[in-house]
């Protein structure tokens, strides 16, 4: 912003300052108050529906200083998007500076803050035997604590949160009302006398004990290898000793989860560093107030049991983010598995009655409390990819952070996302808000959660959708929901949405060459896309290239059973007889698959994800999967010990059809088969596959960029969660002089689809 003007040094004036961004519920008003008082300014500060509004009157130099401070020294949880100051007529009588109560004016449009990990000052109080909050698990302040997960409505005030039922004691109220106190207007402020209490219950919900005793009972149970349900910020965790093979195995059996990795909570960064290799970015992410799960390569000989992440080189670590976690970790003294409290793929339990019903059969005891969770919110998952953030799941700690659109949207939008890894997004003004992680809609409970989340997000931001945007796939439950709303709708192709989500987060509008590699998404031609080169911007796209199409035998069975794609690709590369010989070694039903491919007219797909499945099965690591993406993840892990530049480079074909370039992996697949038959180490073959595909996709993208005179390539889609592939592709593209956009804050997987849909719909011409 501009300064308030030049003039006489001792000029007195009054300004009205509008501050936009995440500025409510983050201690912004007391921050303004303290600086205004120190600068001798008169006036007021208050929250309203647009953010924070300040009027300040005094010496021009003091007013200028206040504006500087607003922009440069905001409190830790605040995110200031804009500071706009205008000079207004001074008031004749004006002294003192005050914080004025929130006014509920008009439709709320203010971002709510994310849930934030316990700050150091609160932690020190919890550890201090002389403090009244000693060992109190719900200690928080203006700089930390629950936010989004307890918010029922905005403006953000205690009465509109699940803390409304707790009445502050005199001491807490004094803190709450004192602008000089760290807990001034900390809405979830609480202490052992007036706030939420811990309980320890058996699996039927019978409460044994409260408070300190409850904690001790939980600690005893965890130390002796039991499995507990623990109520956290956004839902229940299932917790058990991560170093105890029996406990981890038992948890897998009860949760009906064969291989999908469990997250592990460790006491501090030092312990995390003993378990995993952490670069500076991974360390920064672990200790950030968002406290996501950080995926990192495990050290050999680490204490954590192998069964925590079978077949993988990486594990997901996180640090404690509530005082309760800190008390648990210091009490147990060992890493704990902390996995979502659910059976198999159901949504995480967050309501007590439901938790007892669903989790009771899985656990030996329940550690809970009496503060309700308003919004179910899983832990977020991120990693450092070559020293840069890569979000894999944005949820607790990230939701509901907003993204800024390149300009004001033409309309209010609801985007309902994809079918798996679903999120929804809303658009209002220049703001795009993605929801927390919702999950796979094919599960009824998750679908219900989707409906609830959609309504809640619209309600919180006062969005009345003028356009509902959905995937092209008519069978997605999100699509059906959108079409049943009775509003104007827009279908956005799946891979266009992927590329658009990358453009939005990198603050570009295109056109770019978007390389969208993922599982399956419906194309406008009715085939199943998934290895696409799209010349795209926020308005539209043209399919300039793609992987060669092959048959997808057995529909959804082909996704769960990678051996089927191995047969498909072996047939495409080497013919019927070779495919029969190779396939029969993988599964006795290979002949049936070949018959489907020959005569059954199976759907055609260009999916890169299915190509990874095929190669994983061909190198012999996996014929069946128990979680999405497992074959590709294990193929990347298998390649792990081979340096990227030492991997063999196999041939890949290209051709042109109807103006589009076809990347033909058949020679590559033939080489993979030949190498394995010759007895080459599977890790080397896996590394060679990654390197060769990265080179091939880069040269195709490069050719399209040259043809169209475009200088930028965007990499999106779930396949680019594969760091080895993504980094090799980025390197190769940079080498030929192209700028490369990769995902950082928006997941490259289908969790980003609603973001891309929303970005397209925000600027779509009249529909």
The residue written with tokens 């793929």 in the block is 345
Which of 193, 459 has the CB closer to Zn ion? 193
8 A C-beta contact, residue 134 and residue 122: no
* Pick 141 or 278: Cβ nearer Zn ion: 141
Tokens at residue 576, please?
């019927």
Q: Categorise residue 713: left if φ over 0, alpha if ψ from -120 to 50, beta otherwise.
A: beta
| Closer residue to Zn ion, CB minimum distance, 118 or 422 | 118
Residue number, 167 or 452, with CB nearest to Zn ion: 167
Nearer to Zn ion, 141 or 482 (CB): 141
State in angstroms the smallest separation of the CB of 197 from Zn ion.
12
Q: Would you say 109 or 172 has its CB closer to Zn ion?
A: 172
Beta carbon of residue 30, minimum distance to Zn ion (angstroms, whole number): 13
CA–CA separation, 367 and 31 (whole Å): 36
Angle formed by the axes of helices 630-639 and 723-735, nearest 10°: 70
Q: What is the spatial distance between Cα 33 and Cα 44, in angstroms, rounded to a whole number?
A: 8
Q: Tokens in use for 75?
A: 């409190």
Q: Which is nearer to Zn ion, 49 or 131 (CB)?
A: 131
Smaller CB distance to Zn ion: residue 125 or 518?
Answer: 125
Nearest distance, CB of residue 175 and Zn ion, angstroms: 8
Residue 538 CA, distance from chain mean position: 22
Task: Give least dist CB 400 to Zn ion, A.
Answer: 21
Instruction: Categorise residue 191: left if φ over 0, alpha if ψ from -120 to 50, beta otherwise.
Output: beta
**How far is Cα 338 from Cα 340, in angstroms, rounded to an integer?**
7
The answer to whether residues 596 and 551 touch, using CB atoms and an 8 Å cutoff, is yes
β strands within 658-749, DSSP E: 660-664, 712-716, 739-742
Rounded Cα gap, residues 629 and 610, in angstroms: 9
Closest distance of CB 492 from Zn ion, Å:
42
Kindly state the smallest distance separating residue 177's Cβ from Zn ion, in Å: 13
Asked if 189 and 141 count as a contact pair (C-beta separation under 8 A), the reply is yes
Q: Which is nearer to Zn ion, 153 or 173 (CB)?
A: 173
What is the 3 state secondary structure string of 640-684? CCCCHHHCCCCCCEEEEECCEEEEECHHHHHHHHHHHHHCCCHHH
- Footprint of Zn ion on this chain (CB under 5 A)? 119, 122, 141, 143-144, 169, 172, 191, 193-194
The nearest distance, CB 218 to Zn ion, in angstroms, is 23
Instruction: Give me 476's structure tokens.
Output: 């997605």
CA nearest 665: which of 741, 743, 721, 609? 609
Shortest Å, Cβ 143 to Zn ion: 5
Q: State which residue, 121 or 576, has the beta carbon closest to Zn ion.
A: 121
We find the least distance from the C-beta atom of residue 133 to Zn ion, in angstroms, to be 9
Q: List 512's β-bridge partners, or say none.
A: 536
Least separation in angstroms between CB 122 and Zn ion: 3
Contact present, 683 and 639 (Cβ < 8 Å): yes
């Amino acid at each position: 912003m501009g300064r308030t003007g030049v003039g006489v040094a001792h000029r007195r004036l009054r300004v009205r300052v509008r501050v936009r961004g995440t500025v409510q519920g983050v201690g912004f008003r007391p921050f303004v108050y303290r600086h205004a008082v120190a600068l001798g300014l008169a006036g007021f500060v208050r929250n309203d529906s647009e953010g924070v509004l300040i009027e300040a009157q005094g010496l021009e130099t003091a007013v200028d200083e206040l504006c500087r401070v607003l922009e440069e020294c905001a409190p830790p949880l605040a995110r200031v998007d804009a500071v706009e100051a205008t000079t207004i007529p001074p008031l004749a009588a004006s002294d003192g500076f005050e914080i004025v109560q929130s006014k509920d004016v008009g439709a709320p449009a203010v971002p709510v803050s994310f849930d934030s990990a316990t700050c150091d000052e609160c932690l020190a109080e919890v550890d201090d035997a002389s403090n009244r909050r000693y060992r109190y698990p719900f200690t928080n302040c203006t700089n930390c604590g629950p936010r989004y997960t307890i918010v029922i409505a905005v403006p953000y005030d205690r009465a509109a949160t699940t803390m409304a039922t707790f009445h502050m004691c005199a001491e807490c109220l004094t803190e709450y009302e004192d602008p000089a106190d760290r807990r001034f207007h900390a809405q979830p402020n609480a202490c052992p006398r007036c706030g939420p209490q811990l309980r320890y219950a058996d699996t039927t919900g019978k409460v044994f004990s409260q408070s300190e005793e409850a904690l001790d009972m939980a600690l005893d149970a965890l130390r002796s290898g039991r499995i507990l349900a623990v109520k956290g910020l956004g839902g229940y965790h299932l917790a058990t000793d991560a170093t105890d093979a029996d406990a981890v195995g038992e948890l897998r059996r009860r949760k009906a989860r064969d291989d999908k990795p469990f997250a592990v909570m460790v006491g501090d960064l030092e312990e995390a560093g003993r378990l995993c290799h952490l670069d500076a970015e991974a360390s920064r992410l672990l200790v950030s107030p968002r406290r996501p799960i950080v995926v990192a390569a495990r050290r050999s000989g680490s204490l954590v049991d192998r069964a925590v992440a079978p077949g993988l080189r990486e594990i997901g670590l996180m640090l404690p983010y509530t005082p309760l976690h800190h008390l648990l970790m210091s009490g147990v003294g060992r890493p704990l598995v902390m996995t979502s409290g659910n059976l198999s793929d159901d949504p995480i339990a967050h309501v007590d009655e439901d938790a007892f019903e669903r989790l009771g059969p899985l656990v030996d005891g329940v550690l809970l409390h009496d503060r309700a969770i308003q919004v179910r919110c899983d832990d977020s998952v991120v990693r450092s990819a070559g020293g840069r953030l890569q979000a894999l799941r944005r949820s607790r700690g990230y939701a509901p952070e907003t993204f800024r659109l390149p300009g004001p949207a033409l309309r209010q939008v609801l985007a309902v996302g994809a079918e798996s890894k679903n999120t929804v997004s809303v658009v209002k003004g220049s703001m795009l808000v993605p929801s927390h992680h919702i999950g796979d809609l094919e599960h009824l409970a998750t679908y219900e959660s989707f409906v609830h989340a959609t309504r809640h997000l619209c309600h919180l931001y006062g969005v009345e959708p003028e356009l509902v945007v959905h995937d092209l796939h008519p069978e997605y439950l999100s699509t059906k929901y959108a079409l049943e709303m009775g509003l104007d709708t827009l279908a956005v192709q799946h891979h266009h949405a992927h590329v658009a989500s990358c453009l939005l987060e990198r603050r570009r509008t295109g056109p770019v060459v978007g390389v969208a590699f993922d599982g399956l998404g419906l194309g406008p031609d009715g085939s199943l896309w998934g290895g696409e080169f799209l010349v795209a911007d926020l308005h539209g796209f043209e399919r300039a290239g793609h992987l060669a199409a092959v048959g997808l035998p057995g529909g959804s069975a082909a996704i769960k059973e990678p051996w089927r794609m191995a047969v498909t690709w072996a047939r495409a590369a080497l013919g019927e007889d070779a495919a029969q010989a190779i396939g029969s070694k993988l599964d006795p039903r290979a002949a049936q698959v070949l018959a489907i491919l020959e005569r059954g007219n199976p759907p055609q797909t260009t999916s890169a994800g299915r190509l990874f499945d095929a190669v994983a099965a061909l190198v012999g690591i996996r014929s069946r999967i128990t979680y999405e993406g497992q074959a590709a993840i294990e193929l990347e892990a298998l390649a792990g010990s081979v340096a990227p530049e030492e991997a063999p480079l196999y041939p890949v074909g290209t051709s042109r059809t109807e103006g589009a370039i076809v990347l033909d992996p058949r020679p590559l697949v033939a080489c993979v088969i030949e190498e394995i038959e010759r007895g080459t180490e599977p890790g080397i073959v896996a590394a060679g596959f990654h390197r060769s595909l990265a080179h091939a996709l880069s040269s195709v993208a490069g050719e399209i960029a040259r043809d169209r005179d475009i200088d930028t390539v965007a990499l999106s889609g779930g396949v680019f969660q594969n760091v080895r592939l993504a980094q090799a592709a980025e390197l190769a593209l940079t080498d030929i002089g192209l700028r490369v956009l990769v995902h950082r804050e928006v997941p490259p997987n289908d969790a980003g689809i609603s973001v891309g849909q929303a970005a397209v719909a925000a600027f779509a011409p009249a529909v």
